[in-house]
Structure formats: C-alpha cells, structure tokens
Amino acid sequence: MRGAGCIINDLWDKDFDKQVERTRIRPIASGKISEQNAIKLLACQLSLSLGILLSLNMTWYAWCAHSIVLS
C-alpha cells in the first residue's frame, strides 16, 4: 500500500514536481513513466493488496479497520 500511495502522490503532484529541483527527476514528472503506465501499476498494486486482504480471516479485517483509523 505504501507503493500505491507514492504513485498517487506522484500523479497528483506531477505538475508541481516538475518545478522543484529536488523532485523534477521523479519518474512521472520527468516523463520516464507515462501517467497511463503509472495508473496501470497502481491498479496492479491495489488489486494485489485487495487479494491479500480477502485471503485473511475476519479477525484481520478488524485489525485492518483499526489501522486505517489510527493512520
């Protein structure tokens, strides 16, 4: 999920990242990775995360819900 969050952040901030020296080399801002490919990778990461979550028992659902609230 951390990787998915990083992709979302890079997609949202791509225009701003192009203007900042420290962040203009990020893959989406620099154009090394297209937005379409980033969205495809994001979908894969979220699908895998959902698959892992659905393979757990009900006790883990409660733990996951609590971790979302705490974060």
pLDDT tens-digit readout, 25-41:
999 999 999 999 999 99
Q: Does 56 have pLDDT greater than 80?
A: yes
Can you read off the two tokens belonging to residue 42?
A: 């994001």
Average pLDDT over the chain, rounded to an integer: 89
15 pLDDT band (50/70/90 cuts)? Answer: very high
Q: In whole angstroms, what is the distance from residue 59 CA to residue 57 CA?
A: 6
For the record, the structure tokens of 28 come out as 């989406």
- For position 70, what pLDDT does the model report? 73
**Count, residues in the chain:** 71
DSSP state for residue 13 in the 8-state scheme: T
* Average pLDDT for 52-71: 81
At 32, is the secondary structure helix, strand, or coil? coil
Domain ranges of the chain: 2-70
Do residues 26 and 10 make contact, with C-beta atoms less than 8 angstroms apart? yes
pLDDT of residue 71: 62
At 40, is the secondary structure helix, strand, or coil? helix
